[in-house]
Structure 1
Amino acid sequence: MCCLVLTSAIEDSELKKFCSKNILVILGFSSIIAVIALIAVGMTQNKPLPENVKYGIVLDAGSSHTNLYIYKWAAEKENDTGVVRQIEECKVKGPGISKYVQKPNELDMYLTECMEKSKEVIPSSQHQDTPVYLGATAGMRLLRMENEQSAERVLAAVSRSLSNYPFDFQGARIITGQEEGAYGWITINYLLGKFTQKLSWLSFIPQSQETFGALDLGGASTQITFVPLNYTVESPENSLQFRLYGKDYTVYTHSFLCYGKDQALWQKLAKDIQAFSAFYFVMDFLNLTSEKVSSEEQMIEIMGNFCSKSWEEVKTSFPEIKEKYLSEYCFSGAYILSLLLQGYHFTNDSWEQIHFMGKVEGSNAGWTLGYMLNLTNMIPAEQPSSARLPHSTYIFLMVLFSLILVAVFITGIFICNKPSYFWKEMV
């Protein structure tokens, strides 16, 4: 019996040694593979890739002028947010295209300078794959209301001209006021990253972000677009729906034709009354874009001081500005204040929520980027399950997990060298 017990104890000890060594060898081997994999992924993740980019051109044919914008994005990441950026802006010399209704043949020369510049900025190998869009706004909407055939002739002349260039011309059209407002809303919130979901290494639950509303003031119209708090809209024609990165948005958007800066001034002069976007440019000129100017009383005071100056004093103070624009700043500033206070009913309490923006991270804050994103399907309906972690957080997690795996590996080696101690502790 004693021999049997002794033999059993020896066999049990050998079995424990065999099992512990094999289990821990596998554990150590797996740990090494995991560490190598983490390092390999980290090196691949941060390895710079050859630039593979795409370009797009959008012409904003406004009531008083036309601007051309060139956009650029990484082809591999065209469905991620925040990767599209504006690389060039060209102001077309001359008035808006609606003023060429009696001379449509001159539109070819009108567009030449900026289109030739586009050929220089965009590599020739990319010309054929670069889409070109022209969107006409309130000036052409007014012309179409007056004479639809004249508006069509202007658009046809513009289309013929743009088709002569080596780009992929996608058409010229008059966009509605609601579209103009909605595309501007998409632009602002896209550039400010409001369509993505916040994610940090401390909280792996994605959280949707609140969006900004958008106000735009052009020469012939003004637009307001926002997501209503109670998700109800007064009428169907003022409602647009989008699905952006897995979330549905119902926005209120309204365009007020003839309430643009130039149209308002024209009406004032015509009636001889004594009782972005222009929002940004006028306010910037009057030094009203600073966050230090945080109340309507301050705005009104600054406006009053400027408007009380004599014309000679104003010209002397701003010799570098064309008199045409200089002469309109007083009226434009007063009109903007009236529009915000009496028209949109902003108050002293909500004034701090207004931010006057001309550009966001180098991109114009108008509707053109949103227009291109929509037409090229650059914003997908669904977003990946999580946004990428910040680079510093990614490195931290890589180091942390690597240290954990190394610790496991060292522990495994220790157990393999002292199996009896390991089994004693387990018992």
Structure 2
Amino acid sequence: MEDRRESAVKIFCSKNILGILGFSSVIAVVALLALGLTQNKPLPENVKFGIVLDAGSSHTNLYIYKWPAEKENDTGVVTQLEECKVKGPGISEFAQKLSEIDIYLTECMERARKVIPTSQHTETPVYLGATAGMRLLRMENERLADKILAAVAKSISSYPFDFQGARIITGQEEGAYGWITINYLLGRFTQKLGWFNLKPSEGNTQETYGALDLGGASTQITFVPRNETTESPNNTLHFRLYGKNYGVYTHSFLCYGKDQALLQKLSKDLQAIEIRGTGNYRQCRRSILQLFNTSYCPYSSCSFNGIFLPPLQGNFGAFSAFYYVMEFLNLTSEEQSTHKKMINTLEKFCSQPWEELQMYFGEVKEKYLSEYCFSGTYILALLLNGYHFTAESWKNIHFMGKVRSTSVGWTLGYMLNLTNMIPSEEPLSTPLSHSTYVILMVLFSLILVIVVIIGIFIFHKPSYFWKDMV
């Protein structure tokens, strides 16, 4: 009787244990299959390319971008493949020599032809955006500016790419596209996601960076202010990017790029045919401050020349000439970058005899070397007196040349906008982050392995197993 009862217990336990093992193995297999099917997407079969020419006031740069074709409208997938600096001045200098534009663009356009696979040439869009140098020329002589753009368009159209046009972009566009570029590269438009990709709350939205751009003929400041109401609608742009609305303040100061600012200063100082620098930083700074008229403001707060500027908000990425000048002065390191450090560096640099500078910086072109004292002093005055950064908020300025191997500037944002690669709604993403996916795959694999081992053990040594149980 006892044996029969024990046998019945064993049969009952066996069925339950086998049932539990079987159920666990099925769950593990289903979980592994589900993870694999939902997470893994086909590898990109090809790459798409795009070309943007930045026709600035002092030079032209060509940028080649690439992205996986299957990930168009995804986030953080566009990267810079190559940058080619066109030899020579900005295109506005070719007003009286239009026939030379072909030769001017040849080297970089041929470089693009070699870098991009031949099979992709006809599908690769090419955009040319001209900035403040051409804006100034158009104000002086619109017909001449149109002639230059027509000559540029004719030259680029002779290449086997999909030419999308050459145009002069506005100062607002230049500021906005620079802001888009910085935040796209920093991943600030997307939201931080937790485990299992649960919908994030508003508190998880990442704060965007402001953008500070300094060219040869203009400078732009762009950021999302704390207060959504604005006193100057002309300085506000609205974007909907990745499912979130942005009200962005932006303004472009024409003739306040570093080259035009220098011309303004020289015209104020001009008393004779020849101007000699004194090497006196403080005297140079006093002279530069005369460029910023802060005597009147029709709004609650202004930058200079009566232009509305809301209170500064958050971190800023400073690029283009901001970065190049600060890099030369060895002030791009965030540990070293304080406004006091910059003042000390400029006082020392500006006071050095010209012969010593030529000997120490022999590899730097004389034109640039002779302007670094002014450029550095002008940047300091623009940021502190023009945009009203302080000793405390200076730490919020981050001087950027590249982010993730991609040059920071307006060109990437321009291409992203024209190719509709930043959607207004948040795109679908993989259900899990890569780390979560790996952890779950390992976990369910271990469960499956343990279940199989226990099953094999019970099958081969049932008597040992039941003896331990009893």
**What's the TM-score bracket when you normalise by the shorter of the two chains?**
0.7 to 0.9
> What displacement does 1:200 show?
3.3
Distance 1:202 1:300, change over 3 A: farther
| Aligned residue runs from structure 1 range 291-330, under 5 A | 291-330=334-373
Distance 2:341 2:238 in 1: 38
Aligned residue type for 2:404: E
Question: CA-to-partner distance for each residue in 1:384-426, whole Å, 9 max, x for gaps?
Answer: 4666644333211222244456678899999999xxx9xxxxx
| Aligned residue runs from structure 1 range 7-406, under 5 A | 27=23, 30-31=26-27, 33-35=29-31, 37=33, 40-41=36-37, 45=40, 49=43, 51-201=45-195, 204-206=198-200, 207-272=204-269, 275=287, 276-384=319-427, 389-404=432-447
Aligned length: 407
Distance 2:336 2:17 in 1: 73
Distance 1:106 1:388, change over 3 A: farther
Q: Secondary structure at the match of 1:355?
A: strand
> What displacement does 1:296 show?
1.3
Q: CA RMSD in A?
A: 3.1
> What displacement does 1:36 show?
5.1
Aligned residue type for 1:228: P
Aligned position for 1:9: none
Aligned residue type for 1:143: L
Aligned residue type for 1:89: E
Distance 2:374 2:207 in 1: 34
Q: Secondary structure at the match of 1:314?
A: helix
Distance 2:93 2:119 in 1: 35
Query: Unmatched 5+ residue regions in structure 1?
Result: 1-12, 422-427
Distance 1:23 1:260, change over 3 A: same
> What displacement does 1:195 show?
1.0
> What displacement does 1:214 show?
0.4
> What displacement does 1:31 show?
2.5
Distance 1:391 1:40, change over 3 A: closer
Contact 2:28–2:445 (CA under 8 A) maintained in structure 1: no
Distance 2:120 2:428 in 1: 33
Contact 2:197–2:431 (CA under 8 A) maintained in structure 1: no
Q: Secondary structure at the match of 1:315?
A: helix
Contact 1:242–1:248 (CA under 8 A) maintained in structure 2: yes
Aligned position for 1:8: none
> What displacement does 1:99 show?
0.9
Aligned residue type for 2:53: L
Percent identity, aligned pairs only, is 68
Distance 2:154 2:71 in 1: 33
Contact 1:196–1:387 (CA under 8 A) maintained in structure 2: no
Distance 1:368 1:32, change over 3 A: closer
Aligned position for 1:425: none
Distance 1:368 1:20, change over 3 A: same
Q: Secondary structure at the match of 2:391?
A: coil
Distance 1:355 1:18, change over 3 A: closer
